[in-house]
Every structure is written in C-alpha cells, then in structure tokens.
Amino acid sequence: MLLAPIAVLFLPWLESALSLGLGGRNMWLIKQKVLQSQERRVQKYFLKNYKILPMFGGMTEPKEGLFPQPLDHFNRRNNGTFKQRYWVNTELWEPHHGPVFFFIGGEQTLTSYSVLAGEHVDLAQKYKALLVSLEHRYYGTSINPDGLTNRNIQFLSSQQALADLATFREFIGQQYNLTRNNRWICFGGSYPGSLSAWFRLKFPHLVFAAVASSAPVRAQLDFTGYNKVVSQSLSNPVVGGSMKCRSAVASAFSQLDGILVGSNTSRLEVDFKSCQKLNGSDDRVEFAGNLADIVMGTVQYNEEVPGRNIANLCRIMTDQKLGSVYQRLMVLNKDYMDSMELQCVDNSHQNALANLRSTEVKPYAMAERQWYYQTCTEFGYYQTCEDKSCPLSRWLTLQFQVDVCAQVFGIDPGSVQGAVDFTNDYYGADHLASSHIIFVNGDIDPWHVLSVLKNQSHSEVALVINGTAHCANMLPVQQEDLPSLRQARQKIDHQIGAWLAEEHLSSW
C-alpha cells in the first residue's frame, strides 16, 4: 500500500516534543505555530528524500495498530484495558542484526510520521533499524472515552507509561520474532526524553540504550531557573540578545505591573487587545502570563518559526523610534497577534479553568488538562517570576499555579511538593545511576537546567549544544543548522555506533 498524499497524513507527531511546560493561552498557541512550522520543514525534507507519491512508487505506508494495554499495571485485580496506538516501519530494517529504534510519544497525539522522519529515522537508515513508536496513554487517541474524568485520570502517570513501554516491547518482539541480536534504542524529546532515559534506567534488560533530548529529568516545584535562562538568553549576543534588550524587557514589565496593581486596568485592556475586561486579580495574572508567554515562547523555540526569534524580539524592544518600552511591548504584542491571526487575547481565568475542567476527549486538540494533571501529581515545573533575576511580570507566582490543582482536580496544593520529591527519589533526578544514555540539550532552551549537563560516567554522556533551543537535534538536517548542532548529531551517531559495535563483538 502506497502512502497517501502528505497533506492527508501529516499530523502533529512533533507535538510530543513540544508540549512540555504550562504558561498561559499564548504559550499553547505559540507551540501550535512552532508545530506548523516544523510540519512544513519535515514535509519538505520527506518529499526531497523519499519517493512517496503513487506516481513514483516507493516506500509503503507504516503499519498502524491498536494494542490492548492494561489500564493499571500495578493492580492485577483491575482488568480494565485501553487501546494504545502504535506504528511500525520495516522499510529500513535488516531483520537478523538490525536494532529497534523506539520513538516514545508524549503529551499529545502521534502519527505515522513518528516512524518516517526525524533524527532517529536518519540514523535508522545507517544502522538498518526497525522503527516503532507508541502513543502515550491518555493522549491522542490512546484513551477511553471516560478517561479524562477526575475518577479515571488517576491512571495517567510516568510510572504507568513506562510499564506500557515494557509491555509493548514484549508485544513487538513476538510480532516480529525479535531476538537478543535486535537491540532496542529509545528516543524521546522533552517529557518523552525523560521517559527515554527512565526506560533505560528502570528496564535495562529490555532497552539497550537511550537518547534523551531536552529531557527535564529533575522535577522541580518552583522552576525559577526557567526565567533565569530567559534572562540570560535575552542578554546573549550569540543569538541576537543584549543587556540593553534584557533591560528594556524588564522595564516594560515593571511598568505593566505598576498598572496592574492599580484599580483601573482599562488602558491595558485597550493597548494589549484583551477580549474582555480584567475582572479581579486572577484575570490580571492571566493577562500578565499571556504577555510573558510571548517572551518565554520566543526564547524556548528560538528560530523554530521563521521571523520569530530572540534577535527580532530584541530589535523591537530596543528600537527607541517605537516609543517608550511600554509602547515597544505593545508593538511586540501586536506583532505576535498578527502572526497568530488573533483579533484579541482571551485573558479570562474562568475560561482557562473551564478548558482545564473539560473531560471531552479531543484526539487532535492540545492536551492541557492531562499535562496539568501530571504537573500536579508528579513534576511541578511551574515557571515563576518572584525573584529579582526574572525580567518578566511578578504576577507569575507559584501559589497561583498550584491553586489550579485544587480548582480543577481537587488536589491539595500542599501535596504537590511531596509528589515532586517522590518523582526525584524514584528516578534519581539529574543523577541517574544508569548507562548507555545520551542527554542532549541546547543552552538557549530554558528546560536544559533540569537535565543532565555533565557526563555521569563513560556511558552516561551529556551534550550541550551552543546556540540551540528546545529539541533542535530531533529534526531532520537542514542547510541553516549551526555547526554546533551538526557536530552534536555526529557525536550522537558515533556514540550509538560505538555501543552497537561493542555489543555486536561481545555476542560473538
């Protein structure tokens, strides 16, 4: 069966590498825009490198399947199951000795492109690997119709997800008659990057090696480090930043905060195109968060969308011809809204809560409810701005974000720190006692501070890529790639090849 035209098949598999974090409504919209840009990039690469259209013949369509997965791996008295979606691409595989490259899904839907494009597919061509991918439980279509209710969402956790990976590995092994010669190497970016490392850590007898890209393996309740990196990146001349830029952004948000503490916010509502009046402090926090998202999203996804980068942000914020720093922030907001084709910005906290409370299963929608639940019960990761080093709004507080856990899920805000502590104790935070793991991070990416940045041993390797953002190494190669990114990909390739060669020799 030949692949259908790409416009039909191409859906957001890369979202599994993009959704990490919270933020306001604007951050989720930025992620969608980044996704669309990366979709076009992968599409262009795929069309250039593979003959996929019927008129040319060529690659057959990857196999899509549904696998009956236990709902609760840790209570065998619970006989419930759900159907978990997966893909398999055998086109590049040499069955006798070819490894298995396992792409791990994360906090969004997955599609067939999870086994058709990306760094892991480029490597699979060289090492003649079988390509498989698995959609994460409770995301995309891998969820029961009632799974998002407060009663049933309890089965969403990284521990259950890792057990899913183990059960799925056994299933694929039986389906394709795999032997010990077919070594498994898993790949993931962002939260799935953490899962990739943890799968190797917890199931070393099942997975031979792992590549963990932009993986925040250290859970943290109050993630102050996020905006510290934002501050550093705004000051970094390598990516178009400067101290003048950082100072202008900080000054603009300081003026914004001064107005927010007053009784009249009508000026802000007009100047920054709010869809509604700011009713109370909760709406003011949403407003401040949405504006901060523009800066945070630009840094996190620097250069991922043409024209949306730190250099352009700093050009606007340091251009005195545009007026005061407050007026420049207005220009930055308008530039963002135009790029998103927005007439106004929804700053209603009640609307945000209603969205998080919705239990309707929408397979291809953004998965805010599920991911917020995991932050409340496992990770924290709340990006705050309560210390002096933060250049954004002081309205971004920890208390506001953990209170949402109670408002949406009935989870005691005081229990979130305990959940974070357990996660770090269970996995080892950023000191995993494991082997055969490559941690890859970009130093512009705010999430890199929660990852592994130094070699832990000769086989627990850390690569920090100068000048790159979130999960940059996972995308296909393009001409504009920085030399540092090209070198990092070569090191990943070399390390995987060396490990496979060692294992192959030892098996003789």
Cβ contacts of 41 within 8 Å, gap of 6 or more: 475, 476, 478
Residues 19, 189: Cα–Cα separation, whole Å: 10
At 89, list the tokens: 């691409």
Residues 494, 471: Cα–Cα separation, whole Å: 19
Which one of the listed residues 120, 136, 349, 470 is annotated catalytic?
A: 470
Which one of the listed residues 190, 196, 235, 348 is annotated catalytic?
A: 190
* Nearest CA-CA partner of 200 in 168, 166, 173, 176: 166
Which one of the listed residues 142, 445, 448, 451 is annotated catalytic?
A: 445
Q: Would you say the C-alpha torsion 490, 495, 496, 502 has a positive or negative sign? A: positive
Residues 164, 167: Cα–Cα separation, whole Å: 5
Annotated active-site residue 445? The verdict is yes
Annotated active-site residue 435? The verdict is no
Contact 149, 359 (CB under 8 A): yes
Annotated active-site residue 349? The verdict is no
Distances (CA, A) of 118 to 100, 169, 189: 15, 21, 11
Would you tell me the crossing angle of helices 325-340 and 310-317 to the nearest 10 degrees? 140
* Nearest CA-CA partner of 414 in 156, 246, 263, 221: 221
Distances (CA, A) of 11 to 35, 111, 297, 310, 360: 9, 6, 22, 28, 20
The residues annotated with a catalytic role in the active site are 190, 445, 470
